[in-house]
Structure 1
Amino acid sequence: MRELKILVINNYGQFCHLIHRAVRDLDMDTKIVANTTPVEDILDEEPDGIILSGGPTLERAGMCSEYVESIDLPILGICLGHQVIAKTFGGEVGPGVSGGYADIEIEIVDEDELLKGLGPKTSVWASHADEVVRMPEDFKQLARSNICECEAMRHVDRPIFGVQWHPEVAHTEKGEQLLMNFFKVCEEY
């Protein structure tokens, strides 16, 4: 796979720099960008794909909704990024029943391009303080768990994906595989 340029949008989450490092360690050109960066400046970077990092609250997600609506590139939302995507397209985000970070067993419902090679079940590190409680209409469910129906989703037409868990941390099985799958989507787009 050729080296791609992947922008990591900083939503002030504790794992933003880990995402950046995981992407870099997989031999991709990567840069952390503030979530207040204008769309034109993001496009000037000529990225092949965008990752929306996790973060504390939807209120601090800056211009992420605008990026999702107007940038025609593959986008992967992680944790808060996943929730921003859901909310932008008319889904609903609410408090999860299980709260803080924990090891969660995920059931792959649809092994599409993003989750290829991860199923049928995998163990991941995730927070469910907030989660997608209603998926947007133009999305399909990719994964679920016994505590959350929407652990992962994708847009039916556009290469926009969201995962509740953190593929960039060592506690997540096959996290690198998920990132590599996203890079393949970016390369083919």
Structure 2
Amino acid sequence: MKTMNILVINNYGQFCHLIHRTIRDLDMDTTIISNTSSVEDILSKGPDGLVLSGGPTLERAGNCAQYIREIDLPILGICLGHQVMAKTFRGEIGPGKYGGYAEVEVEVLEEDNILQGMAPTTSVWASHADEVKSLPEGFIQLARSGICEIEAMKHEQRPLYGVQWHPEVAHTEKGKDLFLNFFQVCEDY
């Protein structure tokens, strides 16, 4: 696999720098970019893909919805990034029944692209303070758990992917595999 240029969009989550380090440690070029950057600024950096980091609230997600609508590149949304993606396509976001970070057993329903090699189940580290409550228009459900019905999703036509969990943390089984699968999507796009 060739070296990709992956931009990490900073949504002020506590793991943003860990996402950056994980991508760098997987031999990809990566830069953390403010979520208030313009589409033009992002495109001027010549990215092969974007990762929308987690963060505290949808209100602090800056221009992420605009990036999702206007940038024709593979995009991976993690936690808040997943929720912003769902909301952009009219999915419902709401509080989860289980708040803080915990280990969650996720059932992989569809191994397509980013979840390749992870079925039938995988153990992940996730927060469910907020979560996607209804699948947005044009998306396919990829994974669920006993506490959240939409743990992962992808767009039917565009290379847009969202996961509720944090693949960048050591507690997540096969987290690096998820990133490698995303890089393959970027290379193939």
Q: Same fold (TM over 0.5)?
A: yes
Distance 1:103 1:80 in 2: 18
- TM value normalised by structure 2: 1.00
Opposite residue 117 of structure 2, the aligned amino acid is: G
Distance 1:84 1:161 in 2: 11
Hey, what does 1:93 align to over in structure 2?
93
Distance 2:32 2:175 in 1: 19
Hey, what does 2:118 align to over in structure 1?
118
Query: Size of the alignment, in residue pairs?
Result: 189
Kindly indicate whether residue 155 of structure 2 is the aligned counterpart of residue 146 of structure 1: no
SS of residue in 2 equivalent to 1:167: coil
Distance 1:105 1:28 in 2: 29
Q: How does 1:160-179 map to 2 (within 5 A)?
A: 160-179=160-179
Opposite residue 29 of structure 2, the aligned amino acid is: D
Q: CA deviation at 1:135?
A: 1.0
Opposite residue 123 of structure 1, the aligned amino acid is: S
Distance 2:72 2:82 in 1: 17
Q: Which structure 2 residue ranges, 5 or more long, are not aligned? A: none
SS of residue in 1 equivalent to 2:17: helix
Q: CA deviation at 1:137?
A: 1.7
Opposite residue 76 of structure 1, the aligned amino acid is: L
Hey, what does 2:70 align to over in structure 1?
70
Distance 1:137 1:36 in 2: 26
Distance 2:15 2:93 in 1: 20
Residues 55-75 of structure 1, C-alpha deviations (whole Å, 9 max, x = no match): 000000000000000000000
When the two chains are superposed, the root-mean-square deviation of aligned CA atoms in Å is 0.3
SS of residue in 2 equivalent to 1:97: coil
Distance 2:170 2:119 in 1: 18
Q: CA deviation at 1:162?
A: 0.1
SS of residue in 1 equivalent to 2:97: strand
Distance 2:182 2:150 in 1: 19
SS of residue in 2 equivalent to 1:103: strand
Hey, what does 1:5 align to over in structure 2?
5
Distance 1:178 1:80 in 2: 17
Kindly indicate whether residue 25 of structure 2 is the aligned counterpart of residue 32 of structure 1: no
Q: CA deviation at 1:119?
A: 1.0
Distance 2:28 2:164 in 1: 23
Hey, what does 1:84 align to over in structure 2?
84
Opposite residue 37 of structure 2, the aligned amino acid is: T
Opposite residue 75 of structure 1, the aligned amino acid is: I
Hey, what does 2:180 align to over in structure 1?
180
Opposite residue 21 of structure 2, the aligned amino acid is: R
Opposite residue 45 of structure 1, the aligned amino acid is: K
